A and B are shown apart, each in its own frame.
Chain A
């Protein structure tokens, strides 16, 4: 039994936005895999919910005319990882969300919910950060575009203003074209776990596959929010594919992260993982792109 007072079920985004205006205290309910847990804990007793889960217009993945990939927020993790566009253009995103929870959670949980929760451990977040995703945020005033890089304001806090609803996640063609990515989730077990550290790297190699043309690297749980390591990216720019590249990326990553000690893991251990995973994830991404380290 769940302790909530009212459940509103809009049939369109517009109706949903009107309901939110009438009931500003009400919470958006998508897949429910986070919010139902909070209700069960008693933290949200007597809350009101607006259930947007049935809004099909917020579900699905398509290729826009400009070549960008548009992921609607209610797309489940399972559907993200199975989608031909994702498999073809950003398979790493599918590989990342495939590591969330177990099959049931991946069937009900949504990619929009994952990033709107604003937690640093969200498995989809690092890869979306590393691909410079852009968010479409709807309100009764219209659509606002916001780089995902600017979305996270702090732990559990995101830039969703009163009356706003995430309605799209875009990855531009220039961002994914000729790019190969890899994600490593470090957790205490292989399923049903949250990341101790997550690292997502994507690279575009020079045409001779000897140098890095562009490298982007993002971490989860290495800071209060998912972050990019721009220092590592600068170190990698134009770098030859060799051990030194891995050292440079790891050193750059260490300069940008700020993990903390919690009862789950110490800061020192997370830093060790940042260093090691920056190396391993970069190496794997380079190899997926057809390059070899010291090759």
Chain B
């Protein structure tokens, strides 16, 4: 029976909708102490001293820890696999609490109290004396000669600069008859807005520090906590229950290292450190704002002769994932249209904005907006067709990236484009809408993308899985890969069931990761888990299946090679006649007086391949010019993510990603006070996350290729749906109004300025 490709109900659906599923806050001990962090009220400077006298007077205060009390150890926070090569290690640039203030709402002290009211009040009563410098909020200001160094290790504030050149750019642009198209594009700082705020609770047990946390990356967080105050990996234990979303924010150590330290200050008593929504906005991670300058040289036939990009990524106060994002962006600039000469220069720059880190699709929504807007700008300036331009220059099957060697093992991109075009009737409408007048106009737009499946060969890709047979023929499956709402547990259960030959109800996924017992995996990020961890599940399932068949062979006195498992039964290979049930084998293997064997399997998979997923967004919008509003009339994403494991959860991923993309294109952006660096809209009223009634009907479709490198022919899907939406909307507004808006999001204030500038509003 084929399980892969069906719309199996999520394995955690009932517990989640009935409230039985346990999240970190559900697990906090009844008498846990409450910790609150004091965040700085300046963006740049030094903490000179604290006056704690009033804070200590608050009834219920147990301990106050300041930046002068923490270990003098700088550690990295990014959720990357560790590199044993010092050159590739993440930048260790923060302490648990910091006297050098690098962004507004930086963590400078913490209070532990008997309850939240006491902790909050004591935090308010701590008086701080600062030495204050002017906040540096933009890349331009940070790179200016003589700008204050935010980290002494990087006196010019440039975290990393990288360049590459494919072919010879300067020669390529000498070709006669080339048309030059230039554009500047920028993307905003946005927030992940996972429902469950950053939170953890920590305690000590048997001289070990245990941290229960809402994280995407329990094994990595263990390593980071170990590094943050110099205790062995084995002394730290991270437990990850169900989590209410992460979107990359929790691919970083957030509250865990500090909380692990705080419990040691109070003799191992449980300490809860739960960030409010405001703290989650201002004091965790954001998506990098990026600025791009692109110059393209096009031949008359539409082929790209040469392209160059300069990219600037605003890192905020601490390195976190640092240059990896803008590097990913300029790599995609090359990979998407890998023709002609290509030259790139990319900078990641410290500023006093909140720290930017990982967020769904890791730098690609930024370049996706810039690049796909730019391709439409090329179409407009050359009079060429936007679809033809893309098809002519985009990545084709067999492409081997000259820098990363990542190979295009499968592509359904052309068919994705064709399906989207047909669905929307794009080409006809684009021409029909090209010259409208009047206050309300329609437009169509589209955008494409490519996206890697995991991080190899930039970083390590490794994963492990364990299966243990129960006496009733069911099994426990433990995986280091994490369920973060995306449906990982469900697709892993389907993979295991398919490969073993049992029905899905026999697979009990142990959803919770506990680093003391769970096999290793780096966690949920990079849309890697179905591809990388899926292979670990497949290998473990194959090994597990063989062990069951070996024992069945012993019971039946038959060669295991002649046996197969189908629908929970042991059968003759190629015959469906039932010989035994898996349950018969399970109970005999456990209690056999002659041959008791506890059937279990554990395999790890070191993935040394990668592949590209693809997709498109097509959308039709209506622009109300005097009101500066865009209404999305129709929108579809078509994806090539290889073989789809679960059609229903895949659609869910696409809808969620499109929603995030719509927010990126039209609504969401964090705003900062230019004088102080304070975040102005650190709440869900002022940060305009779309509500249900703002969301148009979302359409998702799939072109199912069969990728030879995927465990089940599958490729990445978790992050990609968010990439093409914003540029498609921007291009649709361009089609409707003739106004090219080169900064996301296209919010009303920005459209008012653009339409006024273009003379559409007088």
Chain A residues in 8 Å Cβ range of B517? none
Partner of A269, one of B671, B688, B691, B749: B749
Complex interface bits, A236-275 against B, C-beta within 8 A gives 1, otherwise 0: 0000000000000000000000000001111011001100
* Of the residues A192, A263, A272, contact of B691 by C-beta under 8 Å: A192
Q: Which residues of A contact B124 (CB under 8 A)?
A: 42, 45
Decide yes or no whether A190 CB sits under 8 A from chain B: yes
A189 at the interface (CB under 8 A from B): yes
For B748, what are the chain A residues with a Cβ–Cβ distance below 8 Å? 188, 196, 265, 269
Q: Are A45 and B688 in contact (CB under 8 A)?
A: no
Contacts of A190 in B (CB 8 A): 691, 693-694
B627 near A276 (CB under 8 angstroms)? yes
Collect the chain A residues with CB atoms within 8 Å of residue B747's CB: 188
For the complex, give the distance between the alpha carbons of A295 and B692 in Å.
Answer: 38
CA–CA, A191 and B120, complex, Å:
31
Write the chain B residue with the least CB distance to A46.
B121
A191 to B115, CA, bound (A): 35
Chain A: minimal CB distance from B201 (Å) = 17
- In the bound complex, residues from chain B placing their C-beta under 8 Å from that of A192 are 684-685, 691
Contact in complex: B626, A188 (CB < 8 Å)? no
B116 surroundings in chain A (CB, below 8 A): 1
- Give the residues in chain A near B688, CB-CB below 8 Å: 188-189, 193
Q: Is A194 an interface residue (CB 8 A)?
A: yes
Q: Is the CB of A189 within 8 A of B752?
A: no
Tell yes or no: B698 within 8 A of A by CB: no
A186 contacts partner chain B, Cβ-Cβ < 8 Å? yes
Q: Would you call B468 an interface residue if the criterion is a C-beta within 8 Å of the partner chain's C-beta atoms?
A: no
Q: Give bound CA distance, A220 to B302, whole Å.
A: 52
Tell me the residues in window 532-586 of chain B with beta carbons closer than 8 Å to chain A beta carbons. Answer: none
Q: How far, in whole Å, are A268 and B757 apart by their CA atoms in the complex?
A: 13
Pairwise interchain contact B626-A265, C-beta atoms closer than 8 A: no
* Distance A264 CA – B752 CA, assembled complex (angstroms): 13
Q: How far is the CA of A17 from the CA of B120 in the complex (A)?
A: 33
Residue of B nearest to A187 (CB): B688
B761 in the interface (beta carbon within 8 A): yes
- In the docked arrangement, what's the CA distance between A45 and B694, Å? 36
- Do A1 and B115 have beta carbons less than 8 Å apart? yes
The complex places the Cα of A45 from the Cα of B120 at a distance, in Å, of 10
Min CB gap A14→B, angstroms: 33
| A269–B667 CB distance below 8 A | no
Number of interface residues of A (CB under 8 A): 24
Chain A residues contacting B673 (CB-CB under 8 Å) are 263
CB distance from B153 to the nearest CB of A (A): 34
- Does B693 lie within 8 Å of A1, measured CB to CB? no
Docked Cα-Cα span, A189 to B690, in Å, equals 7
Q: Looking at A2, A3, A266, which has the most chain B CB atoms within 10 Å of its CB? A: A3
In the complex, B13 has a CB within 8 A of chain A: no
**B22: shortest Cβ distance to chain A, in Å?**
22
Q: What string of 1s and 0s marks CB contacts (under 8 Å) between B298-328 and chain A? A: 0000000000000000000000000000000
Which of B626, B667, B690, B694 contacts A272, CB < 8 Å? B626
Please judge, given known A-B contacts A1-B116, A45-B124, A192-B685, whether A186 and B627 are in contact too, CB under 8 Å: yes
CA distance A1 to B121 in the complex (A): 12
Contacts of A263 in B (CB 8 A): 671, 673, 680-681
Instruction: Give Cα distance in the complex from A194 to B761, angstroms.
Output: 25
List chain B residues, Cβ under 8 A from A266. 749, 752
- Chain A 81-97 against B: per-residue CB contact (8 Å), 1 yes, 0 no? 00000000000000000
* Complex contacts, A272 vs chain B, CB 8 Å: 626, 628, 752, 756, 761
By a CB distance below 8 angstroms, the chain B residues around A265 are 748-749
Question: B685 contacts A42, CB within 8 Å?
Answer: no
Q: How far is the CA of A218 from the CA of B684 in the complex (A)?
A: 28
CA distance in complex: A42, B38 (Å): 14
* Complex alpha-carbon distance, A247 and B124, angstroms: 53
Which residues in B have their C-beta under 8 angstroms from that of A196?
Answer: 748
Known: A3-B117, A193-B685, A266-B749. A273 touches B690 (CB 8 A): no
Complex formed: what's the CA distance from A1 to B120 in Å? Answer: 10
Within the complex, what minimum Cβ distance (angstroms) separates A282 from chain B? 14
Q: Is the CB of B761 within 8 A of A3?
A: no
Cβ–Cβ contact A1 & B117, under 8 A? yes
- Complex Cα distance A264/B671, Å? 9
- Name A184-242 residues within 8 Å CB distance of B: 186, 188-194, 196
Within the complex, the shortest CB–CB distance from B731 to chain A, in Å, comes to 22
Chain B nearest Cβ from A12, distance in angstroms: 32
Task: Please tell me if the beta carbons of B691 and A191 are within 8 angstroms of each other in the complex.
Answer: yes
Assembly CA distance A29 to B444 (angstroms): 51
**Residues A269 and B690 in contact, CB atoms below 8 Å apart:** no
Residues of A within 8 Å of B686, CB to CB, are: 264
Instruction: Report the nearest A residue to B123, measured CB to CB.
Output: A42
**Closest CB-CB distance, B308 to chain A, in whole Å?**
35
Contact of B667 among A42, A102, A189, A194 (CB under 8 A): A189
Sample of 25 A–B contacts (CB below 8 Å)? A1-B115, A2-B117, A42-B124, A45-B124, A188-B688, A189-B667, A189-B690, A189-B691, A189-B694, A190-B694, A191-B693, A192-B691, A196-B748, A263-B681, A264-B686, A265-B748, A266-B752, A269-B628, A269-B748, A269-B753, A272-B628, A272-B752, A272-B756, A273-B627, A276-B627
17 further interface pairs, Cβ-Cβ under 8 Å (given A42-B121, A190-B691): A1-B115, A1-B117, A2-B117, A3-B121, A188-B688, A188-B748, A189-B688, A191-B692, A193-B685, A263-B673, A263-B680, A266-B749, A266-B752, A269-B748, A269-B749, A272-B626, A276-B626
Q: Report, nearest first, the 10 A-B pairs whose CB atoms are least far apart.
A: A276-B626, A269-B752, A191-B691, A188-B688, A190-B693, A189-B694, A1-B116, A3-B117, A263-B680, A1-B117
